[in-house]
A = this chain, B = another copy of it.
Amino acid sequence: MNEFELIKHCFYWPQNNNDIICAVGDDASIVQVPSGYELVQSIDTQVADVHFPASAPPQLIAQRALRCAISDLAAMGAKPQAFHLALSLPKDTSQTWLESFSSGLRACADEYSISLIGGDTTSCPSIVITIQVQGLVPAGKALTRDQAQAGDDIWLSGEIGRSAAALENILATPKIFRENDNGLAAAYYYPQAQIDLGQQLIGLANSAMDISDGLLQDASHIAKASDCCLNIESQNIPLNILSIEQFGQTQALQFALRGGDDYQLLFTAPIAVRHKIEDLDCYRIGSVRELAEKSNNNHNDNNSQGKWILLDDQIIENTAMGYQHF
């Protein structure tokens, strides 16, 4: 097959969404946004041997890439609508690889009811996967990072640290992964984008984000955007039992604090709605405080070391928070 035939073979499948006017195959896609809604969009790139092992099963690479992107929609309280795929591959990529990648992508797209509406395929020495996702949110209701209020509870949607714990196993044997494995690796390859919860949090949460770079670092983004301080209580962080079993309690906590890739939601909400959020099976892990240095209006990171995040009332320096890409 030539380039166009191969793309058609792997990435054209029927879409069932009235918002999609034109999908894959023209210069551009066309969607409508229903009256009363806004469009939430995010773009995410994953690079072989940076974000996933190049030799991992292609269907898992696709699953993980799309799930991680969709998670940003969950963090905004949006309902998935559509996505575009930019796929850069080495010239010697086999049709089998591409078909496997496509099957994983489609399975994930079906699970989250999100339509593939466009893309670009290019040759590149590395495998680079960029996915742009979009979803709908009632106008003015999106969950952002900048509305956390002093006095808010801090919440987590579920266990964290499991994906970071999985990484050591995955890097040791990247090609081995059993389908339906419920071990650590499932958290890495099949992160669960909290789409339903995100939508339920509209009207309850003041701020929200998904945890991709680690709890402490991501919590600092809410703190900086909202100009407040987040105090995390380590004993209330839900740790994964498999992570504790393999690595011990202390390391499992470190994975939870500084490891990324869990894609649970971190959010803050007024105490008044605490009982409603407990009904959603979330974990209360701390509280939002006023900034200690209220007189300092310069939010430049260089001048604000260590005022954004407390762990058990102890200041955490910005440099000790988690993964940085550069």
Residues of A within 8 A of B (CB): 2-6, 21-22, 25-33, 35, 38-47, 50-51, 72-73, 75-76, 78, 84-86, 88, 91, 93, 117-126, 128, 130, 132, 137, 139, 142, 144-146, 208-210, 225, 301-302, 318, 324-326
Contact = CB atoms under 8 A, between A and B. Distances in A.
Contact of A132 (B21, B84, B88, B144): B84
A72 B120 CA distance: 12
A43 B86 contact: yes
18 contacts: A22-B142, A25-B225, A26-B145, A26-B209, A27-B75, A28-B72, A28-B78, A41-B118, A43-B84, A44-B86, A45-B120, A45-B124, A46-B122, A50-B123, A88-B128, A93-B326, A125-B125, A128-B130
Closest CB pairs A-B (n = 10): A28-B42, A27-B75, A33-B33, A43-B84, A130-B130, A86-B130, A47-B124, A132-B132, A45-B86, A27-B72
B30 A117 contact: no
A128 B127 CA distance: 10
A137 B31 CA distance: 10
Contact of A85 (B21, B31, B43, B91): B43
Contact of A326 (B26, B42, B91): B91
B117 A28 contact: no
Contacts of A123: 47, 50, 325-326
